[in-house]
Structure 1
Amino acid sequence: MFAYLEGDLTHKSPSLLYLLAGGIGYEVNITLQTFSKIQHLEKCRLYTHLQIREDAWVLYGFADEQERTTFRLLLGISGVGAATARIILSSLTPEELERAVAQEDSIALERVKGIGAKTAQRIILELKGKLFNKKNTGTISLPVHNTTTEDALIALVNLGIARTAAETAIRKIKDAATLSVEELIKQALRAL
């Protein structure tokens, strides 16, 4: 609904701020990462995400688009709500989260308050290949150790197929190593 809000900061705290824009004072929930970037500013632009719940409309603001995109990806994970996503992004920058996912470092995620081993593994599984470093550094962080077979397995699991069934189907395919990920997925689906 709102792509971003730009205006005067009338109140700031590490988790919440009031932003005056167009004569309206918006209450915006923020992460510690955003707070550290805007704490000394009097005016700013926040990229927003509006969550409409049965009992409230809650506005979340982020200092940059990468953090908002990461927040939205986290919301798409079963068991990760807005409060948990905000805690994750308050504890880890999007780059640190990307690194933890790429390196399958569940310990880094488990250090975040409220994240257990199962949730950490689910975050890694579901975000693998979705997070990319948006900065123009000349390099793109890609998942390490992934093969075509592993990529196909992840895709099949994300489609709701049990991991053991997906692994069995992939093993049945002749010359799996020479096929593209898409073709491997198609053949595995036929083999189920």
Structure 2
Amino acid sequence: MIEYIKGELVEETPALAVVDCNGLGYAINISLNTYSAVQGKRNVKLYIYEAIREDAYVLYGFATKEERELFLMLISVSGIGGNTARMILSALSPAELCNVISNGNDKLLKTVKGIGLKTAQRIIVELKDKISSIGISPSAPANTISTVVHSEIYEEAVAALTMLGFAQAPSQKVVSAILKEEPEAPVEKVIKIALKRL
């Protein structure tokens, strides 16, 4: 069991980080929250969850133990797989997710791609009592990054959305619309908004 991977961040996209650990490069699936946390860092430490299936060996990485704990709770809910849990943690910060679950806000949870009303309600029912054990403060500060060139944000957001399983054409359309409305928005905000609209 891998607890964490610590090393040099050699490549990063909003959905994937490649960490060089003594000459061995690990491709690690990450959420937007973790992407925000590792931006601009050379050396990183990501807490790992290993998903070992017949057809794949997938690593999920998290900037904090709390986010990993939330991920583990999400995948314990029937019908929630690793990619859906990552999608939820990309659309909502750990603090926001805890608020949504403790307040029973199934409407907000339903805005995440792949989450229907029944699944949203199941997540709330099954996790409401468990989330208090994580100890995430409801008003955790949001990560902000300095604005990058407009076209870079556009390309990065579209690439991330296609990696998360959305078709390219609708992704491009949605990202363009968001950047017209909010030209100063950082890439993770653009992707978060896009996840709610696609």
TM-score when normalising by structure 2: 0.67
- What is the aligned partner in structure 2 of residue 128 from structure 1? 128
- What is the aligned partner in structure 2 of residue 5 from structure 1? 5
- What is the aligned partner in structure 1 of residue 48 from structure 2? 48
Name the CA distance, whole Å, in 1 between partners of 2:41 and 2:13: 13
- What is the aligned partner in structure 1 of residue 15 from structure 2? 15
Identity %: 45
Kindly report which structure 2 residues correspond to 1:32-47, keeping only aligned pairs within 5 A, or say none.
32-47=32-47
- What is the aligned partner in structure 1 of residue 195 from structure 2? none
Name the CA distance, whole Å, in 1 between partners of 2:125 and 2:22: 42
40 and 112 in structure 1: CA distance in 2 versus 1, 3 angstrom threshold: same
Unaligned stretches of 5+ in structure 2? 139-198
Q: Deviations over 1:8-54 (max 9, x none)?
A: 01110000011001221000000000001101111110000000011
11 and 123 in structure 1: CA distance in 2 versus 1, 3 angstrom threshold: same
Kindly report which structure 2 residues correspond to 1:172-191, keeping only aligned pairs within 5 A, or say none.
none
1:93 is displaced (CA, Å) by 1.1
Name the CA distance, whole Å, in 2 between partners of 1:135 and 1:117: 25
- What is the aligned partner in structure 2 of residue 67 from structure 1? 67
135 and 117 in structure 1: CA distance in 2 versus 1, 3 angstrom threshold: closer
Unaligned stretches of 5+ in structure 1? 138-192
Name the CA distance, whole Å, in 2 between partners of 1:136 and 1:109: 19
SS at match of 1:70: helix
1:136 is displaced (CA, Å) by 7.5
- What is the aligned partner in structure 1 of residue 58 from structure 2? 58
Q: Deviations over 1:145-174 (max 9, x none)?
A: xxxxxxxxxxxxxxxxxxxxxxxxxxxxxx
SS at match of 1:119: helix
Moved over 3 A (4+): none
Counterpart residue type for residue 129 of structure 2:
G
Name the CA distance, whole Å, in 2 between partners of 1:124 and 1:134: 17
Q: Contact between 2:8 and 2:43, CA under 8 Å: does it hold in 1?
A: yes
Name the CA distance, whole Å, in 2 between partners of 1:46 and 1:134: 19
Higher Cα radius of gyration: 1
18 and 91 in structure 1: CA distance in 2 versus 1, 3 angstrom threshold: same
Name the CA distance, whole Å, in 1 between partners of 2:48 and 2:106: 28
Kindly report which structure 2 residues correspond to 1:102-117, keeping only aligned pairs within 5 A, or say none.
102-117=102-117
Q: Contact between 2:34 and 2:62, CA under 8 Å: does it hold in 1?
A: yes
Name the CA distance, whole Å, in 2 between partners of 1:39 and 1:61: 14
Q: Is 1:89–2:108 an aligned residue pair?
A: no
Name the CA distance, whole Å, in 1 between partners of 2:35 and 2:6: 15
90 and 107 in structure 1: CA distance in 2 versus 1, 3 angstrom threshold: same
Name the CA distance, whole Å, in 1 between partners of 2:87 and 2:64: 17
